[in-house]
Structure formats: C-alpha cells, structure tokens
Structure 1
Amino acid sequence: MAAPQRSLQRRVWALLYTGGKDFTWGHFAVVAVIIASLVLLAVQTEPGLDPDMRRRILLLDAVIPVLFGAEFLLRVWAAGADRTFSGPGGRLAYFRQWVVVFDLLAFLPELIVLLLFPEVWATARWVRLFRLFRLLKLFAMFPAFREIGQAVRDAGRRLAATAAMAGVMLFSSAVLLYVVEADAQPDAFGSVPRALWWAVATLTTVGYGDVYPITTLGRIAAGFVAILGVGLVALPAGILASAFAERLGPRR
C-alpha cells in the first residue's frame, strides 16, 4: 500500500508544486480561482449591486478560502515526495519558505473569520485585504516572475543602499523646506513631519501641487530637490535593469 501512496504523492506534487518549470492544469485551476476571487472582490464593492447577486457572490466567496485551504493541505502532504521536504525536518523546511507563508496569508485569516465569526465575515473589509497575497501566490507559479524575484534578490544590497540614500534625501529635504518655509506657511511646512509630505511628493516626481513653497528661497530649494528626485527615481531602475541583464544575459 505504501508504493501506490508514494506514487500518488509524486503525481500530486508534480501537479501542484509551484517551484518547477512546467505549468500544469493544476496550476491553471489555481490561477483561475485566484483571478475569480479578485474579480468577485472588485464586483462586491459596487454599492448598487443587486442584493440577490451580492448573496451569490458572498456564497462563492465563502467557498474560495476553503478551496485554497484544501489545495494547501494537499501540497503539504505531497511535499513528502520531494527528498528536500520529506520527514518532519523537511516539512519544517517547507514551511520556512516565503511562498508558503504567503500561501497561508492568502486564505487562513479569511477562513478563520469565516468559521469563527460568520456574522461579521461579510462586512469585514480588512479581511479582504489578505487576498492581495494571492497575487504573490500567482507570481510564484510563473517562471518569468520567479526570474524577476531572483533579479531583485541579486540586486538586494544595491537597492538597500538606494533606499537608505532615499531616506536621507527625504529627511534632508523636509528639514530644508521647514527652515525656509515654516514662517510663510506654518500649516504646510510648520514642522518636519508636515514638510515630509511635500518631500515625498516632490522626490518621487508625483508633484500633487497641494503643497508648494511660495518664498523665493523656498522655490530655489524646491527646484534643487526636484532635480534630485529625477535621479532618485532613475537610480533603482538602472540597478534593476543591470540585474536583469546579468541574470538573463548568459541564456542568449
């Protein structure tokens, strides 16, 4: 009886494993359910939705986390077919993967609320927020997305240095505008935390225009900060482009 069970484990593992290069019909089914759950999430936020249609959507919504839970348990059981994840120690290694953590977050909070607090599940908006982890589950199934993730990991130190530089620039810009604009616009630049909103909008080149300097010195400083913002946006893009080229170049 052990041999047929082992064979079944291998077949289920090949069907559901998200780290391989082959895209199986099992993956296709999971992707379809993920997309359906996100579409249902979007549709049910419409205030003018027919009450009968809303009830049907909520019923489908209740089934989806159960399906994800069953798929997760099947995958954990089938992981024993892989030598890396066989035995108690292997299962523990399997649960330490970030993909598995995202898998749990994609359905477990919603399933817990559904089972323990069904009366609030339909109106608990914060629970729906966990569905965004299903997008990460979706990314894990496609080799192309995994290549992107690996490229980001390869460039991790350089991106971290860029993020640190961005933090220094944001804070410095906020302090600079606080010094030169606080007296003229105390509501917008009367403190460093208030000036940080302008610094974020300017350095990211969004420029909402709701807060802006009005003094001559403030405008000069803002122009300098805006020019720095162009480089701040371009720098991580260049780092990622270089990482992609390094990773994909040898395959050409």
Structure 2
Amino acid sequence: SEEMEIVVNVGGVRQVFYGDNLNQYPETRLAELVNCLSGGYDTIFSLCDDYDPGKREFYFDRDPDAFKCIIDVYYFGEIHMKKGICPICFKNEMEFWKVDLNFLDDCCKTHLSEKKEELEEIARRVQLILDDLGVDASESRWKRCQKCIWKFLEKPESSYPARVIAVLSFLFILTSSVVMCVGTIPDLQVVDAEGNRMEHPTLDSIETACIGWFTMEYVLRLISSPNKLHFALSFMNIVDVLAILPFYVSLTLTHLGAKLMELSNVQQAVQALRIMRIARIFKLARHSSGLQTLTYALKRSFKELGLLLMYLAVGIFVFSALGYTMEQSHPETLFKSIPQSFWWAIITMTTVGYGDIYPKTTLGKLNAAISFLCGVIAIALPIHPIINNFVRYYNKQRVLETAAKHELELMELNSAEGKATGSRSELEDLSREGKEGPFYSSRIKVSHSDTFIHLLSEEKHYRTRLQSCK
C-alpha cells in the first residue's frame, strides 16, 4: 500500500498522492484513503463525498485553496495559511482532514487566536442580548425586578426610558462639574459669620441634588447587580464612590468635626475633600464609548508611552546638564543648579516655554534650540503606534457590534421563516449550561448561516467550498 497512488479531487482541483508520503501521518484522512478500498463502499463514502471506481478518484466538496495549504504537511512538516483565508474556516478544514493544529506555524496560530477572540466576543454580546430578552418564569419576583432595574440603569439601548435615564445621568454629571467650577468664582461666593468665603447656597443646593442622584443611582445599581463583589471592585464604580464619598465626609466633618478637632483643621480637611470632587468627571467614561476606547488604547500603548518617557528623561538630563554648564559664564545666569535646570529642560523639550528660565549665552541658546528639536522628535515617534492602537480598537468594536446585530437578525429571520428546524435543541443545550429559559426556544432560533457562531453550540458545523466567511 505504500507505493499505491491515489487521485484526490477537491473542489475541481486534482491532486495525485503516493502512499509513502501519506502514511507519514497515518491518522489523517488522506492516509486513511490509502487503505479504504479494501473496506468496501461504506468505508469509502465515510471518508469522501464521492468516488469514481473507473478513475479511482476521490471527490471532496471542500475549499481547494485551504487544501493546497494543508497538504504541505506531507512535504514540509508544517502548514502556513494563505493570505485572505479565514482562520476559523481554515481550522475547520484542518479538522476535516484530521491534521493536528500543532502543524500550523506560530505566525498563523496568532491569526487564529485573534479570530477566536473576536468570535468569543461576538458570542458573548449575542448571549447578553439573549439573556436580556429571556424571561425565566421559575425566578422569583424579586429576581425579575433586579434584572429590570439592572437593564434600566446599565443598558440604555434596552428601552426608551433607559435611554432617558442615561441622558439624565449624563446631564447631572455635567451640571455637577460646572457647579464645582463656578463655585470657585469669588464674585459668586458669600462670606459667613467668621469672614470665610464659601459657596453660594443656591450652588450648594444644586450640588446636593446632584449628589442625591448619584447616590440613588449607585445604590440601585449595587442592589440589582448580579455580582456585587465584582461590581464593587470595578474601576468605574470605585470612581463613582470617590465622587460621592467626599460630600458625605465633608458634611460629617462640618457638623461633628468641630467637637473633635480645631475649626481650622476641619476647614482644611473639608477643603481637601472638596478637591476630590474632580473624580466625578471620570464618570463620563461610563456613558462615552469614545473615552472607553481612549482608555483601552492607552492601556495597550504602555510600551510606547514608556519609550516616550525614557526619551524625554534622557534628553532632560543631558540638556539640563549642558545648559547649566554653558550658562555658568554669564553673571546673571538663571541656571542655579542642574536639578533646577530640569524644569527648563522639561518645558523646552515639550515646546511649552514659559520663559521663567531661559539661556542668555550663545552656546546656551544653541543648546536650547537643539533640545526643543530633539523634544519634538522624541514626542512624535511614539504617537503613530498610539493612534494605530486607538483606531484599531475603535474599528474592531464597531465591527463586533455590527456582527452581533447581524447574527441576531439572522436568528430572527430564520425563526420567522421556520427554516432552522434543529435550533430548538441547540438553544436548549445552551440553556442547560446556565442560561436556560423557555423564551429562547420559542422566539429566537440559532442560525445555520455562514456567520453562525460555533461558540454558541457544541455541535461542529463545517463549511463547504461554496460557503465563504463573512
């Protein structure tokens, strides 16, 4: 059988193989073809789609482009994906031909892992929407009420009243931030009995109303949260606490602190706590996808930001030392020491240039010119990768959102047309994993389309060559 020759026709592309090559990997489908003729037609058709006994040719309705890549394993011992082939489709092709994924080169495994992460994110978004639509009659009234409150406050897209609440929350944040700024204008402040300036009572009342809204919103979200520990430790929720807490602490110190400490210390503590109110501006990130995208881009750009700081640190040290040395010959020098020159180097390299410290000698001015030119170059170098990270993440989020909506539309379309006959059992399998609810099987059915998300079902669905990845 080792010298046996077989002909394989994959999607109209004929390939001739020899048994000695195929038997290097006996567990693969092509190697099984070598010995399948002795097993009869049942064995043959369990391995291929069709067979011509006259030509001794095996037919497969698979992707020929992927097949050309997969057969490299028999000649080179490794596989590379061609550009333009969907990694998930290629993985399915490898599973069909029974070729181990370990033969896939590391560079191609990276593309596969990225695609799998995208599908997992799409599946997670679809599942969240299905969870929101589902109603479990076995749940208690309190649980159903919790879910309603959670959707009402956390998911503005779930209903029109939820969008109104999101807009109101956004306006309260803006109002509170504006009041905090306006309250520092001396002309709008009033003088108390001790002669100290304090915020106008009207502004104070608006601030109290905003804090009341923030407190009520946080408490309701905490009560309705499905995972309270995760909710409490979330960064944005910690920001919410920091925005609310100073008001109550300062209120407590104002009314009770005077009995425990001197009045001046109480006023200083209250003033320090009022500064913490700037944390509420970060609450806007919870309502702004743009700010969330910017935060993620900065997280992914720590390496580039580190390089930027390193370039600036080296330049600041070098140019401040040179500036101090060159300016010592001038009797009215402003460079008193190298540490003091650090400030000059920072504002020069960042092209701010306050003018409080400046060189007076010719060599010092030449050093300053070189320093701000180097500063411009050092700042410009890492900007492009940071912008790329922002654009890549922003576009990816839009694509994932569109893909999730498209998958749901396909589910609803197939449900309306009654074409997805096996969908009920699949969703019931999904519900047994902890997401159960009779609503799923009766209203929305899983789509068996080209964009079907395999992560929503354990069943394997292989695409043919006539199907493409969308």
TM-score grouping bracket, smaller chain normalisation: 0.7 to 0.9
Residues 1:126 and 2:272 aligned together: yes
Give the letter aligned to residue 185 of structure 2: E
The structure whose residues are more often strand, as a share, is 2
The CA distance in 1 between the partners of 2:308 and 2:186, in whole Å, is 43
Residue number among 75, 87, 99 corresponding to 2:236 in the alignment: 99
The CA distance in 1 between the partners of 2:307 and 2:247, in whole Å, is 37
Give the letter aligned to residue 115 of structure 1: T
Q: Hey, what does 2:337 align to over in structure 1?
A: 191
Q: Which has the higher contact order (CA 8 A, sep 6+)?
A: 1
Q: Hey, what does 1:12 align to over in structure 2?
A: 149
Alignment of 1:152-171 (within 5 A): 152-171=298-317
Verify the 8 A CA contact 1:66 1:111 in the aligned structure 2. no
Q: Hey, what does 2:180 align to over in structure 1?
A: 41
Give CA deviations for 1:93-146 in whole Å, capped at 9, x if unaligned. Answer: 322222122111111122211133248679944333222211111122222221
Verify the 8 A CA contact 1:178 1:189 in the aligned structure 2. yes
- Larger Cα-atom Rg: 2
- Number of residues of Structure 1 aligned to a counterpart in Structure 2: 242
Change (3 A) 1:186 1:192: farther
Verify the 8 A CA contact 2:250 2:269 in the aligned structure 1. no
Aligned-pair distance for 1:69? 2.2
Aligned-pair distance for 1:2? 6.5
Q: Hey, what does 2:170 align to over in structure 1?
A: 31
> What's the TM-score once normalised by structure 2's chain length?
0.47
Alignment of 1:210-221 (within 5 A): 210-221=356-367
Q: Hey, what does 1:208 align to over in structure 2?
A: 354
Aligned-pair distance for 1:21? 6.6
The CA distance in 1 between the partners of 2:379 and 2:178, in whole Å, is 32
The structure whose residues are more often helix, as a share, is 1
Of the structure 1 ranges 116-125 and 70-79, higher mean CA displacement relative to structure 2 is found in: 116-125
Q: Percent identity?
A: 26
Verify the 8 A CA contact 2:183 2:203 in the aligned structure 1. yes
Of the structure 1 ranges 157-166 and 22-31, higher mean CA displacement relative to structure 2 is found in: 22-31
Give CA deviations for 1:159-183 in whole Å, capped at 9, x if unaligned. Answer: 2222222222222222221222245
Aligned-partner SS, 1:6: helix
The CA distance in 1 between the partners of 2:347 and 2:225, in whole Å, is 47
Structure 2: gaps of 5 or more residues: 1-137, 192-198, 259-265, 400-470
Residues 1:117 and 2:254 aligned together: yes
Of the structure 1 ranges 169-178 and 28-37, higher mean CA displacement relative to structure 2 is found in: 169-178
Of the structure 1 ranges 68-77 and 45-54, higher mean CA displacement relative to structure 2 is found in: 45-54
Of the structure 1 ranges 163-172 and 3-12, higher mean CA displacement relative to structure 2 is found in: 163-172
> What's the TM-score once normalised by structure 1's chain length?
0.83
Give the letter aligned to residue 235 of structure 1: L
Of the structure 1 ranges 113-122 and 204-213, higher mean CA displacement relative to structure 2 is found in: 113-122
Give the letter aligned to residue 103 of structure 1: D
Structure 1: gaps of 5 or more residues: 86-90
The CA distance in 2 between the partners of 1:122 and 1:54, in whole Å, is 19
Verify the 8 A CA contact 2:320 2:345 in the aligned structure 1. yes
Change (3 A) 1:122 1:199: closer
